Amino acid sequence: MPHGGCLCGAIRYRIEGELASIEICHCSQCRRAQGTPFATNIPVRSDRFSLVQGAESLKVYASSPGKERLFCAHCGSPVISRRAGVPDWVRVRAGTLDAPVQARPRAHFHIASKADWWEIHDGLPQYAERD
């Protein structure tokens, strides 16, 4: 069963079942939220994601209408995001998973707004927006 948590260990979670492929998002919001040229996300059905510890440490930021980013109040680690329009799913930040991770990247999304200083050389499909 995949599991993971934040940098300081205050938040721990688990995911039931196998992981979907990793989606690489280059949108400007993900770049700013992560402080990196892209975010690596794994879509997970909400009923398969559960907090094991640290619910009181999980803070919510509404980054745009209907979109929330959840992070650790202590260390700042982004953990998941969720959208009001898709309540049955969360997007787990792949970097918070404990190794080993069987999932692999499947595509780059929102490359129309990617960082101009980052080049993509991996051969994965690229989409200007979200498919």
| DSSP bridge partners of 71 | 59, 78
Average pLDDT over residues 83-96: 97
Nearest to 81 by CA among 37, 114, 34: 34
Spell out the domain ranges in the chain.
3-113
Q: How confident is the model at residue 131 (pLDDT cuts 50, 70, 90)?
A: low
Average pLDDT over residues 10-25: 97
- Domain 3-113 class in CATH: mainly beta
Assess whether pLDDT exceeds 70 at residue 122: yes
Q: How high is the mean pLDDT of the chain?
A: 96
Average pLDDT over residues 61-82: 97
Question: Which two three-digit tokens encode residue 78?
Answer: 């982004």
pLDDT, one tens digit per residue, over 42-62 is: 999 999 999 999 999 999 999
| Integer angstrom CA distances of residue 60 from 45, 68, 82 | 19, 6, 10
- What's the pLDDT score for residue 14? 98
Strands 105-109 and 22-25: parallel
Average pLDDT over residues 83-103: 96
Instruction: Please enumerate in sequence order all residues whose Cβ is within 8 A of that of 98, keeping only pairs 6 or more positions apart, or say none.
Output: 2, 3, 4, 5
